Amino acid sequence: MRVVAAALGAGLMAMSLGPSASEFNGSVKGAVDGQPIDVAVACDRGDGFLQAKSDPSMHGPTEDRDGDGIAVTVSAMRGMGQAVFEVVVPGQFYRFTGKRDLVFTESGLQMKSTINRYEGTGADSRVIGSYDVDLTLECGS
């Protein structure tokens, strides 16, 4: 039993190490709120889904784990025509969903949009500003 537990623990630890440099098979380029984005990502594609992560060991929240100041996670469902983006740049965290302004390509996706910032919730929410998003995700095979 101890051997099985040790093997399971070692396997989980190896999985949490995240992608190695050789597993970065794509890129996210563009800008969010005027902040330039140009990072390598590890892409994972399956039947109708696409996921890309820029930083190793991205199990949990999107954080800058490699010290370059930028972290990106993209999770997309082609069948729903929707993607969720999480972007970390120095001093700011962005989380937004693309649907109307999202275009899926053979190798990834593109989004160009203006995103509103809200304050409050429900009927009390109001727009307090906006920012521009122009991102392209390209994944290799």
Would you place residue 95 in the very low, low, confident or very high pLDDT band (cuts 50, 70, 90)?
Answer: very high
The answer on pLDDT for 140 being more than 60 is: yes
Backbone angles phi, psi at 80, to 5 degrees: -90, -10
Instruction: State mean pLDDT over 89-105.
Output: 93
Sheet architecture: strand order including 26-32: 92-98, 82-89, 71-77, 49-53, 35-45, 26-32, 126-139, 108-119, 102-105
For the chain, the domains span 2-139
Q: What is the pLDDT of residues 4-26, one digit of tens each?
A: 333 333 333 333 344 455 689 99
Q: Which residues face 49 on adjacent strands?
A: 77
* Separation between Cα atoms, residue 47 and residue 105, nearest integer Å: 15
Q: What is the pLDDT of residues 39-75, one digit of tens each?
A: 999 999 888 899 999 986 656 789 888 899 999 999 9
Count of positions (residues) in the chain: 141
pTM over 0.75: yes
